[in-house]
Amino acid sequence: MKSPLVSIVIPTHNRPTLAARAVESALAQSYRNIEVHVVDDGSPPPFVPESASVKLTRHEVALGVCASRNAGLTAAHGELVTFLDDDDMLDPSMIEKSVAALNESTLKPPVAVLSGMRWVLDNGTETQITKPPRELKRGSKWFLEPIPADCSFSTQNTLVVPRQVITAIGGFDQNLRSHEHLDLFLRLNAVCSLVGIQEPLYFFRQHAGARLTKNLATRAQSMDYAIRKHYAILEGNRRKLAHLLSATGAAYLRAGNRWPAIWFTLRGIASDPLRTRNWYYFLAAVVGHKPSRFIKSILQQ
How does pLDDT run across 60-89, given as a tens digit for each residue? 999 999 999 999 999 999 999 999 999 999
Please tell me which residue, 207 or 78, carries the higher pLDDT value: 78
The second-level CATH assignment, the architecture, of 6-206 is Alpha-Beta Complex (3.90)
CA dihedral 230, 234, 240, 246 (to 10 degrees): 60
135-136 and 193-206 strand pairing: antiparallel
Bridge partner residues of 90 (DSSP): 202
Query: Across residues 25-48, what is the average pLDDT?
Result: 97
Q: Is the pLDDT of residue 25 over 60?
A: yes
Q: Is the pLDDT of residue 291 over 70?
A: no
Q: In the predicted model, what is the mean pLDDT of the chain?
A: 92
Distance CA 98, CA 154 (A): 17
Any idea where the domains of the chain sit in the sequence? Answer: 6-206, 215-300
Residues 6+ apart with CB under 8 A from 18: 12, 86, 87, 205
Q: Where are the alpha helices (DSSP H) in the chain?
A: 16-27, 65-75, 94-104, 163-168, 180-189, 216-229, 231-234, 238-254, 258-271, 276-287, 292-300
How does pLDDT run across 126-136, given as a tens digit for each residue? 999 999 999 99
Q: Is the pLDDT of residue 300 over 80?
A: no
How does pLDDT run across 143-173, given as a tens digit for each residue? 999 999 999 999 999 999 999 999 999 999 9
Q: Which of these ranges, 173-182, 198-207, 291-300, has the smallest mean pLDDT? A: 291-300
Q: Is the pLDDT of residue 212 over 70?
A: no
pLDDT band at 301 (very low <50, low <70, confident <90, very high): very low
Concatenated DSSP letters of 63-90:
--HHHHHHHHHHH---SEEEE--TT-EE
Q: Which of 138, 130, 127 is nearest to 114 (CA)?
A: 130
pLDDT confidence of residue 275: 86
Query: Across residues 50-55, what is the average pLDDT?
Result: 96
The second-level CATH assignment, the architecture, of 215-300 is Alpha Horseshoe (1.25)
- Residue pair 122/208 in contact (Cβ under 8 Å)? The answer is yes
Distance CA 201, CA 88 (A): 11
Q: Which of 255, 248, 256 is nearest to 282 (CA)?
A: 248
